[in-house]
Amino acid sequence: MLNRVRSAVAHLVSSGGTSSQRSKSPDLPNATSAPPAAQETPKSSREKPGNQVGAPQKTAETTVSFSRPTFLQLSPGGLRRADDHAGRAVQSPPDTGRRLPWSTGYAEVINAGKSRHNEDQACCEVVYVESRRSRSVTGVSREPSHNQGFCFYYWGLFDGHAGGGAAEMASRLLHRHIREQLKDLVEILRDPLPPPLCLPSTPGTPGVPSPSQLVSPQSCWSPQKEVTHDSLIVGAIENAFHLMDEQMARERRGHQVEGGCCALVVLYLLGKMYVANAGDSRAIIVRNGEIIPMSREFTPETERQRLQLLGFLKPELLGSEFTHLEFPRRVQPKELGQRMLYRDQNMTGWAYKKIEVEDLRFPLVCGEGKKARVMATIGVTRGLGDHNLKVCSSTLSIKPFLSCFPEVRVYDLTQYEHCPDDVLVLGTDGLWDVTNDSEVAATVDRVLSSYEPNDPSRYTALAQALVLGARGIPRDRGWRLPNNKLGSGDDISVFVIPLGGPGSSYS
């Protein structure tokens, strides 16, 4: 990310204040419930990143706050330990008290000094969805009943960059946007018949017909495309991501929602897991030793053709500084008139073209692997936020090239008899940068086999083992893995979700 942005942005968490411009829906939050926060002095009066954090120094400057997920239940002292770049203690929910839904395991650790605070955030909730049509004419909700709605389980990892504001905001609000989108679908999802093509224009008013009386598909157009219930839920998730991104755009100034975040979200609803990913976090299922990828990374390399097509269709987004074409390396002025390898938005292979003056511009997509960048700036191509992100020393905005829409994959839990060792592992890129799928699967087998199947702490132990394995141990030259390769210096956050079902959801 941009160093100039990162150095200027503190991980600020807004803890209160409603706003009349927050959301048009009365059910969406006003960002008033913030996670536990600890006060700290500004960076100018703190030790350098990577050093042990000592007692706060006296200062006349205004302090800012940082926070961690509420389910960690961290005390002020725990927050300070969680923010220690030198010790990098692994944090997990306490053994005492209420467990996470489905006996979910969670662990996290702060970076080794890459950013001022841990810019990852996480959320784990059980969310009740009430049908929008169950409201009275006055808009007041009736007493919830089994026939008026349903619950979904929700897990979210949010990997922030250029500040933690976007990740913190998404961790508190995205599941509520999803709930709002699902309210129109409560009756439809319960009906085994195909979804109606059209809905009444004013749901919730007197005289609204029952689901069986909704406008039939044939009255709109024919023939009808096949639309499944799964696709309705996927669409609700996609729309929720878009609305979350729009809310960040509206409130980025008044509520200091700086930077952006990757988002990896899982919903369990009506027997199926919906895994939505926008960014470079990843999810895999480990089932009886088999590895099933449930997401893919969205980077300048994996989305090169989408980015190039946008640059080709809207060259004004590139200004006079960038070209949508890709070359194996930067073109030199002395190579004008020569033929060089290139590829454009339509190509997966390479061909030769004559070098022209426009080809001397910087490529829209450059670098490879973890060093690949869009407009020489950002290494992810999907996520939330980043509305203020511009090319360094330029007025060109990068946001038009960044998509907020996730890819959603569906896994039907009813199609397989799962055992207690079958899990869904979610991790931010701090895990996957140094750990591959096979190594994660091996850790799953090693850790879970050492616990009794009915031990609810086994999944937290697994999450901790995955984080510790990616972090490594401190040595003279940084954090090292057992093979002496560099461990992850990034924030690392991991959820482990058992696929056997809710189990002891709240013990």
pLDDT digits (tens, 9 = 90+) for 66-87: 789 999 999 999 999 999 999 9
Residue 382 has pLDDT above 50, yes or no: yes
191 pLDDT band (50/70/90 cuts)? confident
Instruction: Decide if pLDDT at 50 tops 50.
Output: no
Residue 367 scores a pLDDT above 50: yes
The CA distances from residue 288 to 416, 438, 458, in Å, are 11, 13, 17
Report whether 296 contacts 429 (CB < 8 A): no
Q: Judging by beta carbons within 10 Å of its beta carbon (0-12, 13-18, 19+), is residue 127 exposed, middle or buried?
A: middle
Q: What is the DSSP string of 378-400?
A: BS-SB-EE-TT-B-TTS--BSGG
| Residue 302 confidence (pLDDT) above 70 | yes
CA distances from 434 to 281, 296, 439, 443, 481 (A): 13, 16, 10, 14, 9
**What are the pLDDT digits (tens) for 95-139?**
876 789 999 999 999 999 999 999 999 999 999 999 887 554 344
The per-residue pLDDT for range 156-171, each reduced to its tens digit, is 999 999 989 999 999 9
Pairing label, strands 322-323, 362-363: parallel
pTM of the model: 0.82
Portion of the chain with pLDDT greater than 90, in percent: 68
- Asked whether the predicted pLDDT for residue 346 surpasses 80, the reply is yes
Rg of the chain in Å (alpha carbons): 24
The pLDDT value given to residue 180: 97
The number of beta carbons lying within 10 Å of the beta carbon of residue 288 is: 10
